[in-house]
Amino acid sequence: MKVMIRHQRREVEVRGRRRVRELLVELGVNPESVLVIRGAQLLTHDAQLGDDDTIELRPVVSGGID
């Protein structure tokens, strides 16, 4: 599957079925800091991902707020 990691401005290819929470652990991403999106659909951490999927990890943390 193709994983777009928006906040790191990179894309990685991951092989094999796994759940969202396993993917985040592998990529070292804190699940509190991102939303996981397939198409226009938000995914929960137990959602199953397959090789044909294109996934976006969208950061949710904004900074610089005074």
Chain residues binding another protein by CB under 8 A are: 6, 30-33, 35, 37, 40-47, 58-66
CB of 41 to another protein, least distance (A): 7
Q: Which is nearer to another protein, 1 or 29 (CB)?
A: 29
Strand, helix or coil at 4?
strand
Q: How far apart are CA 21 and CA 31, in angstroms?
A: 8
Nearest distance from C-beta of residue 65 to another protein, angstroms:
5
Rounded least distance, CB 16 to another protein, Å: 21
With a CB cutoff of 8 Å and minimum separation 6, the contacts of 59 are 6, 7, 33, 34
